[in-house]
Amino acid sequence: MLLATWNINGVKARIDTLLAWLDERMPDIVGLQEIKSVDEGFPRAELEARGWHVETHGQKGFNGVALLSREPPAVVERGLPGDASDEQARFIEGVWEVGARRLRFASLYLPNGNPLGTEKFTYKLGWMERLEAHARRRLANETPFVLAGDYNVIPQPEDAKNPAAWVDDALYQPESRSAYRRLLNLGMTDAVRAACDQAGVYTFWDYQAGAWQKDNGIRIDHVALSPEAAAALRSVAIDKHVRGWEKPSDHVPVVVEIDPTALR
C-alpha cells in the first residue's frame, strides 16, 4: 500500500503534472498541500475521471490541502483542532478501512513562519503546539496514524545542501526544529530517516538561482508514522525526477510503502 505527500504549489497550474505522476506511481492515498484553490474550483472532474476520490479543504489564492484516494474515506475532518479562530486551510484528515484495521492519514501544510520577529513566526510555533497536542490525542487511540505533508522545517544540518544559508530563516530556527523533535519524541517515526540516514536527501529545490541544477535542496516534506503504522513500514521513496518535468512544483512527492497486513 502506497501513501504519498506532495506540495503541488497550485493544483490548477499543475494538474497535468499531477495526473502524469498519479498514472506513473499509482498510490493508494495522497495528501496534497498548497493547492491554492477554493473547494469548488478544485479540478475534481479530471481526477474523478481517472477513478480518484477527492476531499479538499481549500482557500482562495493560497494554502489549501487535499486528500486523493482509490477508496473513499469513512471519515473526513477538516482543520487542525485547538483554535476555532484559525481560518487558514492547512489540515485535513481521513480514516480508511484497511482490512481489519483503520488507518488515519492527515495532509498538513505547516506555516512558513517568515519573516522572523513577526506574528507569522509566532503563528508557526503555535500551530506546531496544536499539531503536537493533536498527535498526542491520536496516539492515545492506538490507531495507525500518519501525519504527512510540508512541515516547513529543516530538522538537521544534513537536511540542507547549505545549512548556513538558512540560519536566519524560520524553517531552520531552533524553536522550529525543537517543535519537530517534540512531535517525534511522542513516539512518531520520521519515515524518510527510518529508511535512509544519509545526507543529500531533499524534497524541495527553489525556482531561483539554479537550485535544482545545482542540487541545492532542503528536506522539509515529512511523513511521521505512529508506532502502529511504523510497524508496517516497508520502504520509502522520494520521486526526485518529477522536479525535472515541465512546469514542476518546487517540491517533489514523498512515497511510503506499508504492508496493510502488518498494521497493528
Catalytic machinery residues: 109, 150, 251
Tell me how far apart the alpha carbons of residues 210 and 161 are, in angstroms, rounded to a whole number: 13
- Confirm or deny that 168 is annotated as ligand binding: no
Tell me how far apart the alpha carbons of residues 77 and 56 are, in angstroms, rounded to a whole number: 10
- Confirm or deny that 87 is annotated as ligand binding: no
Spatial CA neighbour of 17 closest among 253, 236, 247: 247
- Confirm or deny that 152 is annotated as ligand binding: yes
Instruction: Count, in order, helices (H) and strands (E) of the chain.
Output: 6, 14
**Which residue type occupies 65?**
V
Q: First vs last Cα of the chain: how many Å apart?
A: 15
- Confirm or deny that 86 is annotated as ligand binding: no
- Confirm or deny that 28 is annotated as ligand binding: no
- Inter-CA distances, 62 with 89, 147, 150, 153, 234, Å: 9, 21, 14, 19, 34
- Confirm or deny that 34 is annotated as ligand binding: yes
Binding residues for Mg(2+): 7, 34, 150, 152, 250-251
Binding residues: 7, 34, 150, 152, 250-251
